[in-house]
Amino acid sequence: MGMKTAVVTGASGGIGLETARALLADGWQVVCLSRHACPLEGVRSIPCDITDSAQVQAAFAAVDRVDLLVNNAGFGISGAVECTGEAEIRRQFDLNFFAWVTVIQAALPALRESRGRILNISSAAAVFSIPFQSFYSATKAAVESLTCALRSELAPFGITVGALRLGDVKTGFTAARQKSGSGDDLYAGRIARSVAVMERDEQNGMPPAAIAAAVVRAAHKKRLPPVTTVGIKYKLLCGLNKLLPLSAVTALVAKIYIPEK
Protein backbone atom coordinates (compact mmCIF):
# COMPACT_ATOMS: atom_id res chain seq x y z
CA MET A 1 0.00 0.00 0.00
CA GLY A 2 1.30 3.45 -0.89
CA MET A 3 1.30 6.64 1.13
CA LYS A 4 -1.97 7.59 2.76
CA THR A 5 -3.78 10.61 1.36
CA ALA A 6 -5.32 13.43 3.37
CA VAL A 7 -7.73 15.93 1.85
CA VAL A 8 -7.82 19.27 3.69
CA THR A 9 -10.31 22.01 2.87
CA GLY A 10 -9.16 25.59 3.19
CA ALA A 11 -5.45 24.69 3.30
CA SER A 12 -4.34 27.88 1.57
CA GLY A 13 -3.84 29.68 4.89
CA GLY A 14 -4.26 29.67 8.66
CA ILE A 15 -5.11 26.41 10.41
CA GLY A 16 -5.54 24.58 7.11
CA LEU A 17 -2.08 25.59 5.89
CA GLU A 18 -0.40 24.49 9.11
CA THR A 19 -2.39 21.26 9.06
CA ALA A 20 -1.17 20.54 5.53
CA ARG A 21 2.41 21.28 6.64
CA ALA A 22 2.14 18.96 9.65
CA LEU A 23 0.57 16.14 7.64
CA LEU A 24 3.30 16.42 5.00
CA ALA A 25 5.94 16.16 7.71
CA ASP A 26 4.10 13.12 9.08
CA GLY A 27 4.39 11.34 5.74
CA TRP A 28 0.97 11.92 4.19
CA GLN A 29 0.16 12.87 0.65
CA VAL A 30 -1.86 16.06 1.04
CA VAL A 31 -4.55 17.43 -1.25
CA CYS A 32 -5.82 20.97 -0.70
CA LEU A 33 -9.35 21.89 -1.74
CA SER A 34 -9.55 25.67 -1.73
CA ARG A 35 -10.29 28.61 -3.98
CA HIS A 36 -6.61 29.56 -3.67
CA ALA A 37 -3.62 27.24 -4.00
CA CYS A 38 -1.75 25.99 -0.96
CA PRO A 39 1.74 27.61 -1.06
CA LEU A 40 3.51 24.52 0.30
CA GLU A 41 5.71 22.50 -2.02
CA GLY A 42 4.51 18.92 -2.12
CA VAL A 43 0.83 19.70 -1.57
CA ARG A 44 -1.48 19.03 -4.48
CA SER A 45 -3.90 21.94 -4.84
CA ILE A 46 -7.24 21.48 -6.56
CA PRO A 47 -9.03 24.81 -7.08
CA CYS A 48 -12.46 24.31 -5.55
CA ASP A 49 -15.24 26.44 -4.14
CA ILE A 50 -16.70 23.91 -1.72
CA THR A 51 -20.08 25.65 -1.79
CA ASP A 52 -20.37 24.52 -5.43
CA SER A 53 -21.38 20.84 -5.45
CA ALA A 54 -20.28 20.33 -9.07
CA GLN A 55 -16.77 21.58 -8.26
CA VAL A 56 -16.62 19.33 -5.20
CA GLN A 57 -17.67 16.26 -7.17
CA ALA A 58 -15.09 17.04 -9.87
CA ALA A 59 -12.38 17.51 -7.24
CA PHE A 60 -12.95 14.11 -5.65
CA ALA A 61 -13.17 12.46 -9.06
CA ALA A 62 -9.59 13.66 -9.57
CA VAL A 63 -8.33 12.10 -6.31
CA ASP A 64 -7.30 8.43 -6.39
CA ARG A 65 -7.80 7.69 -2.71
CA VAL A 66 -8.82 9.38 0.53
CA ASP A 67 -7.71 8.09 3.92
CA LEU A 68 -8.35 11.27 5.89
CA LEU A 69 -10.71 14.19 5.33
CA VAL A 70 -10.14 17.36 7.35
CA ASN A 71 -13.05 19.79 7.09
CA ASN A 72 -11.59 23.15 7.97
CA ALA A 73 -12.72 25.86 5.51
CA GLY A 74 -14.92 28.54 7.02
CA PHE A 75 -15.33 32.14 8.09
CA GLY A 76 -17.17 34.16 10.71
CA ILE A 77 -19.68 36.95 10.81
CA SER A 78 -20.52 39.13 13.79
CA GLY A 79 -23.39 41.42 14.66
CA ALA A 80 -26.75 41.42 16.36
CA VAL A 81 -29.25 38.74 15.33
CA GLU A 82 -31.85 41.46 14.86
CA CYS A 83 -29.68 43.37 12.39
CA THR A 84 -28.12 40.56 10.34
CA GLY A 85 -29.49 40.08 6.83
CA GLU A 86 -30.78 36.77 5.55
CA ALA A 87 -28.16 36.63 2.79
CA GLU A 88 -25.34 36.96 5.35
CA ILE A 89 -26.84 34.25 7.55
CA ARG A 90 -27.26 31.86 4.63
CA ARG A 91 -23.71 32.49 3.43
CA GLN A 92 -22.40 31.70 6.91
CA PHE A 93 -24.25 28.38 6.98
CA ASP A 94 -23.49 27.60 3.33
CA LEU A 95 -19.72 27.62 3.87
CA ASN A 96 -19.46 26.53 7.50
CA PHE A 97 -22.01 23.70 7.40
CA PHE A 98 -23.79 22.81 4.15
CA ALA A 99 -20.57 22.82 2.11
CA TRP A 100 -19.04 20.42 4.64
CA VAL A 101 -21.94 18.04 4.10
CA THR A 102 -21.35 18.25 0.34
CA VAL A 103 -17.64 17.49 0.81
CA ILE A 104 -18.36 14.55 3.12
CA GLN A 105 -20.89 13.08 0.70
CA ALA A 106 -18.40 13.33 -2.17
CA ALA A 107 -15.58 11.80 -0.11
CA LEU A 108 -17.52 8.86 1.32
CA PRO A 109 -17.03 6.35 -1.54
CA ALA A 110 -13.25 6.71 -1.23
CA LEU A 111 -13.35 6.78 2.58
CA ARG A 112 -15.45 3.61 2.60
CA GLU A 113 -12.84 1.90 0.45
CA SER A 114 -9.97 2.99 2.70
CA ARG A 115 -11.91 2.65 5.98
CA GLY A 116 -10.71 6.17 6.60
CA ARG A 117 -11.36 9.01 8.99
CA ILE A 118 -13.19 12.36 8.99
CA LEU A 119 -12.02 15.19 11.25
CA ASN A 120 -14.26 18.25 11.51
CA ILE A 121 -12.79 21.47 12.90
CA SER A 122 -15.21 22.81 15.49
CA SER A 123 -15.06 25.53 18.13
CA ALA A 124 -15.76 26.09 21.79
CA ALA A 125 -18.46 28.41 20.42
CA ALA A 126 -20.45 25.21 19.79
CA VAL A 127 -21.05 24.92 23.54
CA PHE A 128 -20.53 28.53 24.64
CA SER A 129 -22.89 30.45 22.35
CA ILE A 130 -21.19 33.81 21.93
CA PRO A 131 -23.38 36.92 21.85
CA PHE A 132 -23.10 38.89 18.62
CA GLN A 133 -21.46 35.86 17.05
CA SER A 134 -24.58 33.75 17.27
CA PHE A 135 -24.64 32.44 13.70
CA TYR A 136 -21.01 31.30 13.76
CA SER A 137 -21.73 29.59 17.09
CA ALA A 138 -24.78 27.91 15.57
CA THR A 139 -22.78 26.53 12.63
CA LYS A 140 -20.28 24.94 14.99
CA ALA A 141 -23.04 23.44 17.13
CA ALA A 142 -24.47 21.98 13.92
CA VAL A 143 -21.05 20.58 12.97
CA GLU A 144 -20.73 18.77 16.30
CA SER A 145 -24.25 17.36 16.05
CA LEU A 146 -23.52 16.17 12.50
CA THR A 147 -20.24 14.64 13.67
CA CYS A 148 -21.92 12.53 16.35
CA ALA A 149 -24.68 11.31 14.01
CA LEU A 150 -22.22 10.50 11.21
CA ARG A 151 -20.07 8.61 13.65
CA SER A 152 -22.89 6.14 14.28
CA GLU A 153 -23.97 5.95 10.63
CA LEU A 154 -20.49 5.24 9.29
CA ALA A 155 -19.14 2.93 11.99
CA PRO A 156 -20.30 -0.24 10.16
CA PHE A 157 -18.08 0.78 7.22
CA GLY A 158 -15.00 1.19 9.40
CA ILE A 159 -15.03 4.98 8.96
CA THR A 160 -14.29 6.94 12.13
CA VAL A 161 -15.55 10.49 12.65
CA GLY A 162 -14.55 13.10 15.20
CA ALA A 163 -14.50 16.84 15.79
CA LEU A 164 -11.71 18.97 17.19
CA ARG A 165 -13.15 21.71 19.38
CA LEU A 166 -10.85 24.73 19.32
CA GLY A 167 -10.60 27.80 21.45
CA ASP A 168 -9.07 31.07 20.32
CA VAL A 169 -6.45 30.71 17.58
CA LYS A 170 -4.26 33.47 16.17
CA THR A 171 -4.83 33.45 12.39
CA GLY A 172 -6.13 35.63 9.60
CA PHE A 173 -9.63 34.49 10.58
CA THR A 174 -9.93 37.58 12.78
CA ALA A 175 -9.20 40.06 9.98
CA ALA A 176 -11.45 38.13 7.59
CA ARG A 177 -14.47 38.26 9.90
CA GLN A 178 -17.41 40.10 8.34
CA LYS A 179 -18.38 42.60 10.99
CA SER A 180 -21.65 44.44 11.11
CA GLY A 181 -22.04 47.28 13.56
CA SER A 182 -25.59 47.85 12.38
CA GLY A 183 -27.84 48.68 15.32
CA ASP A 184 -24.97 49.37 17.73
CA ASP A 185 -26.64 52.60 18.83
CA LEU A 186 -29.73 50.60 19.75
CA TYR A 187 -27.54 48.12 21.63
CA ALA A 188 -25.67 50.92 23.43
CA GLY A 189 -22.28 50.02 21.95
CA ARG A 190 -22.41 46.40 23.14
CA ILE A 191 -21.80 45.00 19.63
CA ALA A 192 -18.52 46.88 19.17
CA ARG A 193 -17.33 46.05 22.70
CA SER A 194 -18.13 42.37 22.25
CA VAL A 195 -16.33 42.13 18.90
CA ALA A 196 -13.30 43.90 20.41
CA VAL A 197 -13.13 41.24 23.14
CA MET A 198 -13.35 38.45 20.55
CA GLU A 199 -10.60 39.96 18.43
CA ARG A 200 -8.30 40.53 21.40
CA ASP A 201 -8.73 36.94 22.59
CA GLU A 202 -8.15 35.52 19.12
CA GLN A 203 -4.96 37.50 18.62
CA ASN A 204 -3.71 36.21 21.97
CA GLY A 205 -4.81 32.68 21.15
CA MET A 206 -3.06 29.43 20.32
CA PRO A 207 -0.76 29.27 17.29
CA PRO A 208 -2.24 27.38 14.33
CA ALA A 209 0.67 24.93 14.50
CA ALA A 210 -0.74 23.70 17.83
CA ILE A 211 -4.02 22.86 16.10
CA ALA A 212 -2.17 21.14 13.27
CA ALA A 213 -0.34 18.96 15.80
CA ALA A 214 -3.70 18.03 17.33
CA VAL A 215 -5.00 17.05 13.89
CA VAL A 216 -2.02 14.74 13.33
CA ARG A 217 -2.55 13.14 16.75
CA ALA A 218 -6.24 12.65 16.00
CA ALA A 219 -5.42 11.15 12.61
CA HIS A 220 -3.49 8.36 14.34
CA LYS A 221 -5.55 7.91 17.51
CA LYS A 222 -6.87 4.36 17.84
CA ARG A 223 -9.91 5.32 19.91
CA LEU A 224 -11.00 8.67 18.52
CA PRO A 225 -13.55 10.42 20.78
CA PRO A 226 -16.60 12.06 19.17
CA VAL A 227 -15.25 15.49 20.22
CA THR A 228 -11.73 16.39 21.34
CA THR A 229 -11.21 19.78 22.96
CA VAL A 230 -7.80 21.26 22.12
CA GLY A 231 -5.85 23.13 24.80
CA ILE A 232 -5.84 22.69 28.59
CA LYS A 233 -7.63 26.00 29.19
CA TYR A 234 -10.50 25.02 26.92
CA LYS A 235 -10.69 21.48 28.31
CA LEU A 236 -11.23 23.02 31.75
CA LEU A 237 -13.85 25.44 30.47
CA CYS A 238 -15.77 22.72 28.64
CA GLY A 239 -15.59 20.57 31.77
CA LEU A 240 -17.00 23.46 33.78
CA ASN A 241 -19.81 23.73 31.25
CA LYS A 242 -20.90 20.20 32.21
CA LEU A 243 -20.96 21.02 35.92
CA LEU A 244 -22.81 24.33 35.93
CA PRO A 245 -26.45 24.92 35.00
CA LEU A 246 -26.95 26.39 31.54
CA SER A 247 -28.32 29.62 32.99
CA ALA A 248 -25.08 30.16 34.92
CA VAL A 249 -22.92 29.37 31.88
CA THR A 250 -24.93 31.76 29.69
CA ALA A 251 -24.63 34.53 32.28
CA LEU A 252 -20.87 33.96 32.56
CA VAL A 253 -20.38 34.08 28.78
CA ALA A 254 -22.39 37.31 28.61
CA LYS A 255 -20.25 38.85 31.35
CA ILE A 256 -17.06 37.94 29.49
CA TYR A 257 -18.15 38.95 26.01
CA ILE A 258 -20.31 41.98 26.77
CA PRO A 259 -18.15 44.11 29.07
CA GLU A 260 -19.47 47.26 30.67
CA LYS A 261 -18.32 50.58 29.26
> Which domain, by its residues, includes 232?
5-257
Tell me, yes or no, if 122 is annotated catalytic.
Answer: yes
Task: Locate all alpha helices (DSSP H) within the chain, ordered by sequence.
Answer: 14-25, 53-61, 86-93, 99-114, 134-154, 173-176, 190-203, 208-220, 232-243, 246-257
- In tens, the pLDDT along 4-53 reads 999 999 999 999 999 999 999 999 999 999 999 999 999 999 999 999 99
More confident residue, 179 or 259: 259
Asked if residue 173 lies in contact with residue 76, where contact means CB atoms within 8 angstroms, the answer is yes
234 catalytic residue (yes or no):
no
Angle between helices 86-93 and 134-154 (to 10 degrees): 30
Q: Encode pLDDT of 139-196 as tens digits.
A: 999 999 999 999 999 999 999 999 999 988 988 776 667 777 788 899 999 999 998 9
pLDDT at 174: 66
Catalytic residue among 34, 45, 78, 122: 122
Concerning whether 247 is annotated as a catalytic residue, the answer is no
Mean pLDDT, residues 214-230 taken together: 97
| For residue 120, pLDDT beyond 80 | yes
Say which CATH number the domain at 114 has: 3.40.50.720
Catalytic residue from among 45, 129, 134, 140: 140
Give the pLDDT confidence score for residue 153 in this predicted structure: 99
- Count of domains observed in the chain: 1
Catalytic hit among 4, 134, 136, 194: 136
187: annotated active-site residue: no
Q: Are 205 and 167 in contact (CB under 8 A)?
A: yes
User: So what's the pLDDT on residue 1?
Assistant: 56
